[in-house]
Amino acid sequence: MQKWNLYTAKELRADGWLRRQLEIQAAGLSGNLDRVWRDIRDSAWIGGDAEGWERVPYWLDGFVPLAYLLDDADMIARAKKYIDAILAAQRPDGWICPCDDEARPTYDTWAVQLITKVLVVYYECSSDERVPDVIYRTLKNYYELLRDGTISLFKWGKYRWFECFIAIEFCYRRCREGWLIELARILREQGQDYNSITHLWERPLNAWKLDTHIVNLAMCLKYEAISHELLGEDYTDRAEALHQILDKFNGTPVGLFTGDECLSGLSPIQGTELCAVVEQMYSYELLFAHTGEPRWADRLEMLAFNALPAAISDDMWAHQYVQMSNQIACIKFPGKSVFRTNGAQAHLFGLEPNYGCCTANFNQGWPKLALSTFMHDGDTVINVLPIPSELSDGGKRIRLETDYPFRNIFKYTIETDKPFRFKIRIPACARDVAINGQICTEKEPCFDIEAGKTVISMAFHTFPELISRPRGLKTAKCGSLIFSVPIKYSKKMYEYEAKGVERKFPYCDYEYIPESEWSYGYASNIMTVERRELADIPFSSESPAIVVHAKVRRIDWGLEDGYETVCAKTPASRKPIDEEERDIELYPYGCAKLRMTELPKI
């Protein structure tokens, strides 16, 4: 098992389309939440009267690395304003969360686990020397309160106990004090044992349970990887076992697990919460870092290039709470929601559809992906994700120029004071890999050289294919991209105020109303790829950089019983209703905001 260390925003820089994606995010909702959303602007974390639990830490978890990756002075100053207020409000005994002393036993300490993780991120970006002592005193206080029984883990803190290990490991590397190991053991003992509840994941329950809550499960995949060393336990790869169960009974074509809001089975008309997308990405980033297993990076690519952009508008001012594989409309349900435990507006694009957690949390997705492009172990460097980025580490500088995943051509320019070992993870989807013009005869998950000052060129092929889905349906895939039948749509904008929260353009809500045909089945396995110019918006819903041409025929698909804006789980008939075979363009899943992704083969 190979363990890799993460770089920070001081060593990494996003280039190309990745930097453009971060710039769009900074200009959109994530970069402006402290100006437009009361739960951040007026939070109790900075002395206000709005929410004082997870939303400011969630926002900072993405906003801080975003600010430093872009080296944006204004954003850095705004992040520091929040951090300064949080540090200044720490109690003499170390307690850091905004609640009265007598309320501590009933305050869900998921917020303690989350804010300490955020402070680690902030320190790694800023080198603010106030921060390590604040983290130390916060954890020491947490340990003493848990040890003495003054507080205990319950609800979210119980199910997310392992999230605190990010900060515990940070402190333990610095001081090696035994109470940190005791804190780790207390959290493990009081935390939920996910291995004991996997039987609940095998069929949808139509009930809201923490045991099946999709965000908890997306987070839990990394629990063993980040905790086993501090706990003195062997690593047994429980993540893979848990992943297989979740995928078998709740998997989606883009590598997600359905959860609207709890596990929802294999139906293409059930949704997945956006918080789960970014938390599952973070789990995979840390799983690769702690194990070196290429499969976690392959799975990370699937989420990042498909599920993440799918649930966010092109300008990143609006997002969905849940996304569906087969999503023919995003219109509020007039009656009962089709979702098992989410409301009638959860699939709309807006400021905070259904619930506001994703509003704050989704912004960690792109910045943390950028921080996972390169990792290191001593003097050995690995390019984990072959997306446009640059590493500057001491005397080493590596620049990667590429438009992957839209094109499969890569150029590494390496400048260094002395040779070092350099690895490139090659995606599992790559075929006919060529390094510096030479075809690699043996497929290996990594290219490995002793690198001096040099240029490395790499190219490979990816081929479109139809992969099998449950109920006899098929999904188009090419490399790390999933493709869907795009549905043209118009938008209906809603500006209003509810519960003291204003929706006003550009941070308002939208219904997406379908305006094109969607009742198709695949007529052939033969598909062709067309690569186009990369637009200013990388995952553009109007000008995708890659399309797949496919042959389809119209069928009588039908609507889900009781709904006018939801297709049936499976087609009413798989028999073509006309003789005409049509050539259509399939869009990348992340570009097709309305889409059909799971179709029958005629």
Q: What is the pLDDT of residue 242?
A: 98
Which of the four pLDDT bands, split at 50, 70 and 90, describes residue 438?
confident
Residue 118 neighbours by CB under 8 Å, 6+ apart? 57, 60, 61, 64
* 398 phi and psi angles, rounded to 5 deg: -125, 125
pLDDT digits (tens, 9 = 90+) for 449-502: 888 999 999 999 999 999 999 999 999 999 999 999 999 999 999 999 988 899
**Burial of 504 (C-beta count, 10 Å sphere; 0-12/13-18/19+):** exposed
The pLDDT tens digits of the residues spanning 67-78 come to 999 999 999 999
For the residues 360-370, what does the mean pLDDT come to?
98
How many angstroms from the chain centroid is the CA of residue 237? 21
Over residues 6-15, the mean pLDDT reads 97
CA dihedral 196, 201, 204, 208 (to 10 degrees): 50
Domain residue spans in the chain?
Answer: 464-600
Dihedral in degrees, nearest 10, Cα atoms 405, 407, 410, 411: -120
Mean pLDDT of the chain: 97
Specify the pLDDT at position 301: 98
14 alpha-carbon distance from chain centroid:
17
The pLDDT tens digits of the residues spanning 420-432 come to: 999 999 999 999 9
The residues facing 509 across adjacent strands are 494
Q: Looking at the predicted structure, is the pLDDT value of residue 408 above 80?
A: yes
pLDDT score of 279: 98
d(CA 476, CA 596): 11
- The residue-averaged pLDDT of 520-539 equals 97
Q: Does residue 439 have a pLDDT over 90? A: no
| Distance of alpha carbon 200 from alpha carbon 197, whole angstroms | 6
| Per-residue confidence (pLDDT) for residue 353, from 0 to 100 | 96
Let me know: does 273 contact 264? Beta carbons within 8 Å: no
Residue 215's alpha-carbon distances to 56, 251, 273, 304, in angstroms, are 18, 14, 8, 16
3-state secondary structure of 23: helix
Confidence of residue 572 (pLDDT cuts 50, 70, 90): very high
Mean pLDDT of 128-140: 98
- Residue 355 pLDDT greater than 90, yes or no: yes
**Beta strand pairing status for 322-324 and 271-273?**
antiparallel
**Predicted local confidence at residue 440, as pLDDT:** 81
Q: Residue 51 pLDDT > 80, yes or no? A: yes
Average pLDDT of the segment spanning 11-18: 98
Confidence at 32, pLDDT banded by 50, 70, 90: very high
- Residue 263: phi and psi, rounded to 5, are -45, 135
Q: How far apart are CA 310 and CA 539, in angstroms?
A: 9
- Over residues 550-573, the mean pLDDT reads 97
Mean pLDDT confidence for 209-235? 98
For the chain, how are helix, strand and coil distributed in percent, rounded to 5?
A: 35, 25, 40
